[in-house]
Amino acid sequence: MRIIIADSSPLYAQGVKLALDSEGITANTLMVDSYPALEQALERIHGKVMIVVDSRLNGLSELEDLAGLKLVREANILMMTDSTDVALMRRARMTGIDGVVAKTAPLSELGEALREVLAGGTWRFNERVSLDQWGAQKTRLGYALCRLSNQENKVLNLVKCGLRNKQIADRMSLTEHTVKTHMSSILRKLEMENRTQLVVALQQI
């Protein structure tokens, strides 16, 4: 089986390779640093493939994109994410992703997760997160929301309803480019990497 390691950080990608080696998993691995590069790699690969992907991968905006890859390619997918983002982990599993593991997990745990998903099984994350961490995250996000303009708040409310940029543009009588500009500003002010992370974080407030 081919294994694609999709991570914007070369350091984390090497960590996954190290975990594979520590588990004695010999596979033909390929490293990519963006979602478009992942799609291009899949076009060149035939047969069974496993994808180890960072939840904040450059160019990845929706978890459903990964679910689509799973359906089309029948790929085994293990997603790596931040240890405190439990809601994102839950949503990923509900979307159909085979396993989710925290980037802060010990190398041994990552190795076990890789072996389990590679074998066609699933890997359940550890949900033990301190309440203090969640409280701090919610407070920070609450203050950041107050910095949004009226237009940005309107865009954000439509994003929460599941509308895409074109639909938001039609609803607000704006150009799609203007909506993208508002989205970039919202993500910057709220310190979010992408749309998926934003929606999941808002669901916690």
CATH topology of domain 131-202: Arc Repressor Mutant, subunit A (1.10.10)
Are 2-118 and 131-202 in the same CATH fold? no
Q: How many CB atoms lie within 10 A of CB 44?
A: 8
The domain made up of 2-118 is a member of CATH 3.40.50.2300: yes
81 Cβ neighbours under 8 A, 6+ residues apart: 54, 55, 56, 88, 89, 92, 100, 101, 102, 103
Taking only the tens place, the pLDDT of each residue in 84-98 is 556 667 777 777 788
CA–CA gap between residue 81 and residue 178 (Å, rounded): 30
Give, for 79, the enclosing helix (H) or strand (E).
strand 76-81
- Cβ atoms of 48 and 2 within 8 Å: the answer is yes
**What number is the average pLDDT over the span 136-158?**
78
Q: What is the pLDDT of residues 69-126, one digit of tens each?
A: 777 777 899 998 875 556 667 777 777 788 888 887 788 888 888 988 988 888 876 5
As a residue count, the chain comes to 205
pLDDT on residue 50 = 92
Averaged over 40-68, what is the pLDDT? 85
Q: Which residue has the higher pLDDT, 150 or 73?
A: 150
**pLDDT for res 138:** 57
Distance between CA atoms of 200 and 89, rounded to whole angstroms?
10
Cα separation of 153 and 138, whole Å? 17
Per-domain residue ranges of the chain: 2-118, 131-202
135 has a pLDDT exceeding 70: no
